[in-house]
Amino acid sequence: MSQIVLVVEDDPKMLQLLRLYLEREGFGVVTAGDGPAALEAADRTHPNLVILDLMLPRLDGYEVCRRLRATSDVPILMLTARVDEVDKLLGLQLGADDYVTKPFSPREVVARVRAILRRTGQPRRERILRHGDLEMDLDRHHATVGGREVHLTPIEFKLLETFLEAPQRAFTRDQLLAAIYPHHEAAVVDRTIDVHVGNLSAKLGDDPARPHYIATVRGVGYKVL
């Protein structure tokens, strides 16, 4: 069965161009032209990945991303005409996995889709990682803290896996970037890791002032306590 990509774009020509290139590569494609239609399509089709334009009518891409993340860990690739780092970081903070800045080549988008699906779809070893009250089932893609299930995006899950593979080791930002982007396919901004680690810490219930799970190591990066 082919993997399903939901393309959310209000420009009909761009929408059809992306559909054409994705279908040529063997993907099943579902489309939506505005925010509410995107949420309905995601709920109905359960796509393997969402390509999400930020500038949408009725409900913008940021809000669509936020609502998708409230109920799903589906990978999200943002399409943005905005070049400001703040705009890109906001999308990452809301749970997007990667972004492409317009204008772009449809081939680049397809390459990013394949890269994200490779990262998020690789089989994991059948074992459990534990550290304190953190527990991860790598095969089931399931994480708990104190017995409470934590819904993590694929990148957040990979970050936590990296930390728990080497408890108390201090990782540099470059090392963490290499862990979540192993082939360096994705263009990343300097603060990408800070955003993802911040999202992960918040989901674990950490207090930034007095962290219990993930701490900043000054001049180095981050480690699990």
Residues 79 and 55 both lie in one domain: yes
Which position has the higher pLDDT, 189 or 170? 170
209: domain CATH number is 1.10.10.10
CATH of the domain at 62: 3.40.50.2300
C-alpha–C-alpha distance, residues 214 and 224, integer Å = 5
Confidence band of 130 (pLDDT split at 50, 70, 90) = confident
**CA-closest candidate to residue 177, choices 150, 203, 196:** 196
Last residue of a domain, one of 92, 121, 150: 121
pLDDT, mean of residues 55-63: 89
- Domain holding 181, by residue range, is 128-224
Together in a domain, 117 and 156 = no
Q: How confident is the model at residue 177 (pLDDT cuts 50, 70, 90)?
A: confident
Q: Are residue 116 and residue 54 in the same domain, yes or no?
A: yes
Mean pLDDT, to the nearest integer, of 6-18?
A: 93
Tens-digit pLDDT profile for residues 200-215: 999 998 887 788 888 8
Average of per-residue pLDDT across 147-172: 87
- Whether residue 62 is found in the same domain as residue 17: yes
72 and 159 share a domain?
no
Does one domain contain both 102 and 13?
A: yes
The model's pLDDT over 20-30, given as tens digits with 9 standing for 90+, comes to 999 998 898 99
CA distances from 28 to 6, 61, 81 (A): 9, 22, 26
**Total domains in the fold of the chain:** 2
Looking at the structure, tell me whether residues 8 and 117 fall in a common domain: yes
Q: What is the DSSP letter of 15?
A: H
User: Among 90, 68, 81, 89, which Cα is nearest to 9's?
Assistant: 81
Rounded Cα gap, residues 34 and 39, in angstroms: 9
